Amino acid sequence: MKNKYNVCLLLLFCFGFSQAQVTNEGNPKSWDLELESNKALSLPNFNLKSLQAEDAVNDELKNQPYRFGHEHQVSLNFKDGTWNELKNGDRVWLLNIKSQGAKTLNFLFDEYRLPDGAKLYFYNEDKTDLLGAYTSSQNRDDMQFGSWLIDGDNIWIEYFEPANAKFKGQLHISKVVHGYRSVMDIPQLSKALNSSGPCNQDVDCPIGSDFDNLKEELKKSVAMTIVGSSGFCSGSLINNTNNDGAQYFLTANHCLGSSPAGWAFRFNWRSPDPSCSTTTNSTDGDFDQTASGATLLASSAKSDFALLEINAPLSTDWDLVWPGWDRSGDIPDFTVGIHHPSGDIMKVSRDDDSPFKNSRSFGGISNMDNWFLDEWELGVTEPGSSGSPLFDQNGRIVGQLAGGAAACSGTSNNGAFDFYGRFDVSWDYGDTSSSRLQEWLDPTGTGVLVLDQFPSSEIFDNDVALAVDNISDVICGNEAFPVFRIVNEGNEVVTNATLTYQMGTQNEVSVDWSGSLAIGESEEIVSPTLSLSDGNVLVASLEIDGVQDGFPDNNSMTRTIDNFQDATYDTETVILTLVTDEYASETSWEFYDQDGNLLAESQGVLTNLTTYTETFEVDPDSCFEFVILDTYGDGICCGLGNGSYSLETGSGELIFEGGDFGGSESTNFRVSDNLSSIGFDFSSSLSIYPNPASAFVQIEINSNEEFNVELFDMSGKKLYQTQMNGDISIDLNAYATGIYFVKIGNGENSITKKILKQ
């Protein structure tokens, strides 16, 4: 059971809620008692197809909320449920609401006033999702309140009021939102946990030793915000010159679709097992740190900013950070964004190039001032990232996300741009404090151009960090090439350290390092070649010799690597067989290579109840991803026709089959480099070296037979052909650097090997 105020099933931009953090004080009273209740109140049907047609257009945009629910206008209060009086005088009120087919329900109140000791809960019929208790801490002068999403289409609302309450509570529900789209229902994005595209980086993935330690602090500032009744944004706490932890929160002006009095904020939603630009799913985090209700302090479309103040005290147990800022307008060396794309767990993006200043038509004005990022090098943003902070190389905020076209293309980004409202413009544009930042973030008028975070990051005398570069969670091959580096994060010079690492069940390796590193300096220790054949978990640790490390948390790492050991096939072709259902127009498919390049896709509108067959030519020693999409979000089986699909090798070996999915489903697999090597034992007779090669590559076969040798580029174009008996040398000088394939055969058997030209 999810005993929490949970956001695992939210979808895009902006949504709405109330004040203060939710307590978690056990189960509702009714769970231990037999209480009376009225028959469930059923909400009317609505035109879902019409909403989906609108969504098909709006989902492509980053400049407006992503709608996942239909709002039912209602007027419900205590008269619509059932009161039960307990023996001690306490009272329990129950209301059961159903909206057939809903993925989730959530509730908006225009009257919410609870006495001390009263509690409000929301839970589904099978009691697997529980929200609450909401208490008097959510009371506001304007009496607004909103719930989180509750899973299911049959929801109970339970109100407990103690006998000694000083006054009778007030509750009036004005809206019930039928969530018709949920986590796996957006084909392009597959929402909520693991909802964003596979090129996204979880925030705990390494993004470079020059920013990793800053990221460890800054991630504690970012929140996913729920506004209105059908979407969400991102944003960040932000420091002011008083360094007092004032609960200021920076987001985007275009997220202001409703009063922030009804907004909710979720901090520190991060994955304990991060996924780094892979199709491997992130695991959910156990942080449920949620607050509700805010006041709008300032906003402007000129730079698309909004500054809020979160009303209820944020818990000191949450270990939050208020980032600093830079209002100088100086162009950053590089930039980093931390955000919640598509309602997913926290992600990070990095652009290694400097942004440039730009002006564009956006948000109803013709000259919105922004930082223009032409392409991300790591990760992307998506709808739902709007309002998230842009950090410069010093970890200071220089803007917040307004819009753009960046998105995933498989496990790579699509090479498109994003733009962020400029902090320096937000600082003093406009004539009053309601349109600019300076009065709020520099309340005493110090005039400083830059400000660091609050609380300040502690620096220890002795502190080394282990940095591991050039390694991914997914590797298409049997070897990994990590680069281990030592980074001095302490005040004292580091002269000696010991690195220990182990891959799978292989022997543990220790490396002694000596040198001289001042604070902030780093140096490579070793860059080994590690085999993945004996396990795929890499464990490494680093220790300073002779002294106690003041902050050991950054001294070790564990990385689980997926190299498709259980999904590797010997084949030159992959065959797709697709049987459509009764709504084939909703179905499409895409086929990608390991670099995110689209190799093939469905053409036109598919025909109902039809069998399609496609054959894909696949390169050896390569990885691929097949994605099937359904715009309605109900897969192709089994309610409206028994649709299905399968992927098989050329010899008929099954790779995957399915049909019962939501909005999308992905299959990842690898093609080995030992294609068609049947009969003749190439593995023990063939040698190719050096590989990588810069000029010549030598091929040797321990056999008296004559073999045909062919050289191909990545596109399959034949570049060279010859005959060999014993050994041969191929001249690569005329070819560009990159990947090539050499095919060797004797008429009956053949093998294809990959070579790398440096």
Catalytic residue among 254, 385, 562, 664: 254
Residue 138: CB atoms within 10 Å: 25
Catalytic residue among 204, 304, 593, 673: 304
| Beta carbons of 147 and 137 less than 8 angstroms apart | no
Angle 197-203-208 from CA coordinates, rounded to 5°: 105
Active site residue 339: no
Give the DSSP H/E element, type plus range, for residue 468.
strand 464-469
For this structure, is 386 an active site residue? yes
Q: What residues have CB less than 8 Å from 639, skipping those under 6 apart?
A: none
Structure tokens at 599: 């190799």
What's phi and psi for 216, nearest 5 deg?
A: -60, -30
Token pair for 554 = 């950054």
Give dist(CA 424, CA 445) in Å, integer: 16
In the block, tokens 């990608």 appear at 592
Residues of 606-638 as b/e, b for ≥16 C-beta within 10 angstroms?
A: beeeeebebebebbbbbbbbbbbbbbbbbbbbe
Say how far apart CA 711 and CA 66 lie, in whole Å: 50
Q: How far apart are CA 76 and CA 422, in angstroms?
A: 44
Q: Which two tokens stand for residue 600?
A: 């093939």
Q: How many CB atoms lie within 10 A of CB 188?
A: 18
Contacts within 8 Å (CB) and 24+ apart, 99-102: 99/42, 99/43, 99/72, 99/153, 99/176, 99/178, 100/42, 100/45, 100/153, 101/153, 101/178, 101/180, 102/152, 102/153, 102/178, 102/179, 102/180
304 is catalytic: yes
**741 is written with which tokens?**
């394939």
The active-site residue, picked from 386, 412, 472, 676, is: 386
Active site residues: 254, 304, 386
